[in-house]
């Protein structure tokens, strides 16, 4: 079958800020991708479920290859937990198929609606970063389709440089077609979780230090509308997989769905405040110890499909940075201060420590330190000006931003955060590009 | 678990059939998968095995051309000669504009969706009747509920198939076997790849309609709409008087 391309105006990234129509094809089999190997130079970008917030999963004017129909499992080895699958399989589908058999993806981001290919191309992290590192550490091998070399197998030992470029490589090193990833054993589908309210940033750091080692999953939510004295106040959550409970997967049916974009006045200071209070209420409800299903624990927002539509037509940004340990405390304080003063920032504000396990990708975002992620309604220049102020703090602190979340970073800011950028660029497939890459490429 | 279900899928590479097969695989089903593309069939078979299928055999055939009488016995062999559920999922939407101008194109739509599909249904029904058990689940369409200028040819093939399945359900009822027509609404599959607005509220994914197809094989009514809300929608559309309907652009 030859690939059909259609111009589509409903291929938006998660933040819904960029509105340029995309020219999209959805291959139904790996064979359909053959024309993109060997010398065919048509600019292209492989994408998954478009859960990246900014423009790293868009390629205006190029061919956007939506790989979500390449969603077949190829083989599974019950003894080792090694799963080989096509890159368009979602982590949610892996959970549905393998949780009943006692296996779970080694790392899951805050949503299960991501593909294996997308997860690897951003070298995603989860709440278990201290214990497990990024997902790339659990990839045994992958196959890549290159315009200049055809199909190439990469692993930490075979074509190692290309492997290092592809993990966290933002789809720029070629089309990932298949992946072999090591699943993790679980005894039940539940986690034993504990939620603790904390009052200050210092308390957060203390709680985190006390929990490392004893808990596999660590994360904190904080109220970024809280001012000076309450700066950083929030709820700390820590958990371990439970040995008790059934191996029952999540359900996709009965999820709520935001069907249309809200009018843009829906998110303003008042509603933001209200949502924050409500979310805090929801979280506080859960204070103390609980046995929770992995769904609500890892992917609380997945129960409301398309939630980013509440930000209306203007869309939203997420600002996520990581700060090295030595400057983390001061820089986090400075960032929170700048955000709370601005009156922007919204209910999704997350603080998490990254552990020492090295990320395998040249452009992997996680590095030891503290990561901070905050959602912002797009208020145009006002929001962008705030980001400039935040950038200055992050840069000064020796930190960097997460491309999966970014839709506006400058070339200089990107280069400053990623010392291996020049080395990475040597592995870029000459036919691959993205709107993000056009903006930041050296 | 009881004995694994023995499942025949005609048109197994359809997105809706694939999603259905995956649910059955998780319960350990045994499959015979039929479609045109041998390589893609092997990919699907491996997927189903990894999901827990007890076995998955593949047969590459053009179902519009193959003779059901000649081929069916061979299809049943990997299942030990018997079936618990047979799905008929293949079909083409066809280009109506082209079909109106070129009757060989129209004939192809009719041959695929009605003529051959009806023959496969008759052949499978004979097996079920002999077994005195099992279900035939046929994918129809809401497009068969009322002729519209935008897809009446396709709609008519599905309507005809619907009446055939209704009659088979009647015929099989007395021996305890079943025939069910499942009518999906708009589903985001390769068949509808060219349609704009596929992320709209009326659209479903194959994964969302698959549970209804699994359920259809084990009980319930003989006509199933999926998602369910298409039943009232189509009741209204059927009730709209002709003169008013003719002014719409559906
Ligand atoms: C609610 C929410 C919570 C999130 N939480 C986290 C979190 O906790 N941790 C975290 O790390 N991230 C998080 N993310 C970000 C998300 O995990 C990443 O953006 C992920 O990459 C999205 O996967 P996707 O399949 O949607 O890929 P897309 O967004 O479609 O694409 C992402 C990148 O991968 C590339 N790509 C996709 N498929 C392929 C392929 N087959 N071959 C080559 N390149 C490919 C694309 O070109 C693009 O550069 C979150 C996102 C959301 C919406
Ligand atoms: N999608 C919708 O909105 C919708 C709505 C109502 C009903 N339906 C019905 O649902 C069924 C499944 O369709 P789908 O939506 O899942 O679309 P699909 O993925 O395009 O499936 C259609 C399948 O039919 C196969 N096919 C066509 N002619 C064939 C032949 N002569 N021999 C063997 N296989 C043949 C195609 O195989 P090839 O790849 O070899 O062509 C394809 O796999 C169809 O009967 C369709 O009419 C669909």
- pTM assigned to the model: 0.94
With 70 as the cut, is the pLDDT of residue A279 above it? no
Residue identified by tokens 């009052």 is A199
The answer to whether B154 is a known catalytic residue is: yes
The reported pLDDT for the residue numbered A306 is 82
What distances in angstroms separate CA A270 from CA A273, A275, A343, A344, A387, one per listed residue?
Answer: 5, 9, 10, 11, 21
Residues in Cβ contact with A313 at an 8 Å cutoff, skipping those fewer than 6 apart: A16, A261, A264
The pLDDT-based confidence of B201 (bands split at 50, 70, 90) is confident
- Domain of residue A144: give its range: 73-186
Q: Output phi, psi for B41, to 5 deg.
A: -65, -40
With 90 as the cut, is the pLDDT of residue A105 above it? yes
Sheet arrangement for strand A288-293: A288-293, A190-198, A234-241, A217-222, A349-354, A369-377, A316-323, A400-401
Shared domain for A146 and A104, answered yes or no, is yes
The DSSP code for A301 is G
Cβ neighbours of A83 in B, within 8 Å: 50
User: Who lines ligand 2 at CB under 6 A?
Assistant: B 11, 13-16, 35-37, 62-64, 89-92, 112, 139, 141, 184, 186-187, 189-192
Please indicate, yes or no, if residue A13 is contained in any of the structural domains: no
Q: Output phi, psi for B189, to 5 deg.
A: -140, 175
With 60 as the cut, is the pLDDT of residue A158 above it? yes
Residues in Cβ contact with B33 at an 8 Å cutoff, skipping those fewer than 6 apart: B9, B12, B21, B41, B44, B45, B48, B56, B57, B58, B59
The DSSP code for B142 is G
CA-based nearest distance A161→chain B, Å: 30
The domain spanning residue A140 has which CATH number?
3.30.465.10
Residues A133 and A129: their CA atoms lie apart, in Å, by 4
Shared domain for A217 and A350, answered yes or no, is yes
Please indicate, yes or no, if residue A14 is contained in any of the structural domains: no
Other CB atoms within 10 Å distance of the CB of residue B41: 20
Cα dihedral B153, B158, B162, B168 in deg (nearest 10): 110
C-alpha of residue A115 to centroid of ligand 1, in Å: 7
The domain spanning residue A199 has which CATH number?
3.30.70.2520
The pLDDT-based confidence of A365 (bands split at 50, 70, 90) is very high
Q: Please classify residue B111 by burial: count the beta carbons closer than 10 Å to its beta carbon, then call 0-12 exposed, 13-18 middle and 19+ buried.
A: middle
Buried b (16+ CB within 10 A) or exposed e, B44-53: bbbbbbbbbb
The pLDDT-based confidence of A25 (bands split at 50, 70, 90) is very high
Please indicate, yes or no, if residue A394 is contained in any of the structural domains: yes
**For the segment B50-98, what is each residue's pLDDT rounded down to a tens digit?**
999 999 999 999 999 999 999 999 999 999 999 999 999 999 999 999 9
The answer to whether residues A175 and A44 touch, using CB atoms and an 8 Å cutoff, is yes
**Mutate which of A51, A54, A429 for ligand 1 pocket (most atoms within 8 A of beta carbon):** A51
Cβ–ligand 1 contact at A122 (below 6 Å)? yes
C-alpha of residue B212 to centroid of ligand 1, in Å: 31
CB contact under 8 A, B39 and A6: no
Tokens of A436: 């993000």
Please indicate, yes or no, if residue A48 is contained in any of the structural domains: no
Q: At what angle do helices A201-211 and A325-342 cross, to 10 degrees?
A: 140
With 90 as the cut, is the pLDDT of residue A304 above it? no
The answer to whether residues A200 and A299 touch, using CB atoms and an 8 Å cutoff, is no
Shared domain for A293 and A394, answered yes or no, is yes
The DSSP code for B217 is T
Tokens of A399: 């930190």
With 50 as the cut, is the pLDDT of residue B1 above it? no
Cα–chain center distance at B216: 11
Please indicate, yes or no, if residue A39 is contained in any of the structural domains: no
Domains (range + CATH), chain B: 6-245 (3.40.50.720)
Last residue of a domain, one of A146, A168, A186: A186
Shared domain for A291 and A387, answered yes or no, is yes
Strands (E), A3-54: 6-8, 22-25, 44-47
Residue identified by tokens 């935040």 is A390
Please indicate, yes or no, if residue A273 is contained in any of the structural domains: yes
Shared domain for A168 and A218, answered yes or no, is no
**For the segment A395-432, what is each residue's pLDDT rounded down to a tens digit?**
999 999 999 999 999 999 999 999 999 999 999 999 99
Residues in Cβ contact with A196 at an 8 Å cutoff, skipping those fewer than 6 apart: A207, A235, A236, A237, A238, A287
Q: Please classify residue B11 by burial: count the beta carbons closer than 10 Å to its beta carbon, then call 0-12 exposed, 13-18 middle and 19+ buried.
A: buried
Cβ neighbours of B207 in A, within 8 Å: 252
Shared domain for A180 and A201, answered yes or no, is no
Residues A7 and A24: their CA atoms lie apart, in Å, by 6
CB contact under 8 A, A4 and B50: no
**For the segment B121-173, what is each residue's pLDDT rounded down to a tens digit?**
999 999 999 999 999 999 999 999 999 999 999 999 999 999 999 999 999 99
Shared domain for A251 and A151, answered yes or no, is no
Residues in Cβ contact with B219 at an 8 Å cutoff, skipping those fewer than 6 apart: none
Shared domain for A153 and A209, answered yes or no, is no
Last residue of a domain, one of A135, A151, A186: A186
Please indicate, yes or no, if residue A21 is contained in any of the structural domains: no
Shared domain for A351 and A246, answered yes or no, is yes
Tokens of A312: 């209306």
With 50 as the cut, is the pLDDT of residue A82 above it? yes
**For the segment B89-124, what is each residue's pLDDT rounded down to a tens digit?**
999 999 999 999 999 999 999 999 999 999 999 999
Shared domain for A225 and A305, answered yes or no, is yes
The reported pLDDT for the residue numbered A262 is 72
- Average pLDDT on A109-133 reads 97
CB contact under 8 A, B194 and A75: no
The minimal CB distance from A73 to the residues B50, B193, B198 is found for B50
The answer to whether residues B63 and B10 touch, using CB atoms and an 8 Å cutoff, is yes
Residue identified by tokens 């069939």 is B41
Cα dihedral B107, B179, B85, B223 in deg (nearest 10): 90
For an interface test with B, the pick among A2, A23, A28 (most B C-beta atoms closer than 10 Å) comes out as A28
**Mutate which of A118, A145, A366 for ligand 1 pocket (most atoms within 8 A of beta carbon):** A118
Please indicate, yes or no, if residue A436 is contained in any of the structural domains: no
CA-based nearest distance B199→chain A, Å: 7
Tokens of B10: 């005609």
Cβ neighbours of B46 in A, within 8 Å: 72-75
CB contact under 8 A, B47 and A74: yes
With 90 as the cut, is the pLDDT of residue A169 above it? yes
Shared domain for A333 and A283, answered yes or no, is yes
State the total domains in chain A. 2
Q: Output phi, psi for A299, to 5 deg.
A: -130, 55
The reported pLDDT for the residue numbered B250 is 76
Shared domain for A225 and A301, answered yes or no, is yes
Q: Please classify residue A1 by burial: count the beta carbons closer than 10 Å to its beta carbon, then call 0-12 exposed, 13-18 middle and 19+ buried.
A: exposed
Residues A208 and A12: their CA atoms lie apart, in Å, by 36
Last residue of a domain, one of A186, A201, A218: A186
With 80 as the cut, is the pLDDT of residue B197 above it? no
- Average pLDDT on A254-258 reads 66
């Amino acid at each position: 079958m030859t690939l059909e391309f259609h111009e589509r105006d409903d291929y938006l990234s998660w933040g819904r800020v960029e509105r340029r129509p995309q020219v999209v094809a959805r291959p139904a089999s790996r064979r359909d991708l053959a024309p993109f190997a060997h010398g065919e130079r048509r600019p292209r970008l492989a994408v998954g479920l478009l859960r990246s917030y900014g423009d790293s999963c868009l390629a205006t004017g190029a061919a956007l290859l939506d790989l979500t129909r390449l969603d077949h499992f190829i083989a599974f080895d019950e003894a080792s937990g090694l799963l080989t699958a096509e890159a368009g399989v979602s982590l949610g589908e892996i959970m549905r198929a393998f949780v009943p058999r006692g296996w779970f993806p080694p790392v899951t981001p805050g949503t299960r609606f991501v593909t294996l290919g997308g997860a690897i191309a951003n070298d995603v992290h989860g709440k278990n970063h201290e214990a497990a590192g990024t997902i790339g550490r659990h990839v045994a091998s992958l196959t890549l389709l290159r315009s200049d070399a055809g199909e190439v197998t990469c692993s930490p030992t075979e074509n190692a440089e290309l492997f290092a470029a592809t993990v966290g490589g933002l789809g720029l090193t070629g089309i990932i077609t298949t992946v072999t990833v090591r699943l993790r054993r679980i005894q039940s589908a539940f986690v034993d979780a504990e939620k603790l309210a904390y009052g200050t940033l210092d308390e957060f750091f203390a709680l985190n230090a006390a929990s490392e080692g004893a808990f596999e999953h660590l994360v904190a939510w904080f109220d970024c509308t809280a001012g000076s004295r309450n700066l950083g106040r929030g709820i700390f959550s820590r958990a371990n997989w439970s040995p008790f409970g059934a191996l029952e997967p999540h359900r996709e049916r009965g999820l709520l769905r935001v069907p249309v974009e809200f009018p843009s006045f829906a998110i303003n200071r008042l509603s933001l405040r209200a949502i924050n209070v409500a979310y805090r209420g929801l979280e506080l409800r859960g204070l103390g110890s609980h046995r929770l299903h992995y769904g609500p624990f890892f992917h609380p927002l997945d129960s409301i499909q398309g939630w980013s539509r509440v930000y209306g037509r203007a869309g939203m940004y997420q600002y996520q940075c990581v700060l090295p340990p030595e400057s983390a405390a001061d820089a986090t304080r400075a960032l929170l201060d700048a955000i709370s003063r601005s009156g922007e920032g919204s209910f999704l504000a997350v603080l998490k420590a990254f552990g020492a396990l090295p990320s395998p990708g040249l452009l992997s975002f996680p590095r030891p330190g503290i990561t901070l992620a905050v959602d912002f309604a797009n208020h145009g220049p006002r929001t962008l000006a705030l980001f400039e102020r935040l950038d200055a703090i992050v840069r000064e602190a020796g930190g960097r931003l997460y491309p999966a979340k970014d839709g506006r970073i400058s070339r200089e800011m990107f280069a400053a955060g990623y010392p291996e950028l020049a080395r990475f660029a040597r592995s870029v497939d000459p036919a691959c590009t993205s709107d993000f890459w056009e903006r930041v490429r050296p | 678990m009881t004995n694994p279900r023995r499942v025949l899928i005609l048109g197994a590479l359809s997105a809706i059939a694939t999603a259905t097969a995956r649910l059955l695989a998780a319960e350990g089903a045994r499959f015979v998968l039929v479609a045109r593309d041998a390589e893609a069939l092997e990919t699907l078979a491996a997927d189903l095995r990894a999901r827990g299928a007890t076995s998955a055999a593949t047969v590459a055939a053009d179902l519009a051309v193959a003779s059901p009488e000649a081929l069916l016995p061979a299809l049943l062999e990997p299942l030990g000669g018997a079936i618990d559920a047979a799905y008929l999922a293949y079909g083409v939407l066809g280009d109506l504009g082209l079909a109106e101008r070129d009757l060989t194109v129209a004939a192809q739509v009719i041959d695929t969706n009605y003529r051959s599909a009806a023959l496969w249904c008759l052949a499978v029904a004979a097996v079920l009747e002999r077994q005195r058990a099992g279900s035939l689940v046929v994918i129809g369409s809401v497009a068969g509920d009322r002729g519209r200028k935008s897809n009446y040819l396709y709609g008519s093939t599905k309507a005809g198939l619907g009446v055939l399945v209704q009659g088979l359900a009647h015929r099989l009822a007395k021996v305890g076997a079943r025939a069910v027509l499942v009518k999906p609404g708009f589903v985001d599959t390769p068949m509808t790849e060219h349609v704009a607005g596929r992320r709209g509220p009326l659209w479903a994914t194959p994964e969302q309609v698959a549970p209804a197809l699994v359920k259809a094989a084990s009980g319930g009514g003989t006509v199933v709409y999926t998602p369910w809300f298409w039943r009232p929608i189509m009741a209204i559309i059927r009730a709209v008087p002709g003169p008013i309907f003719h002014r719409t652009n559906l």
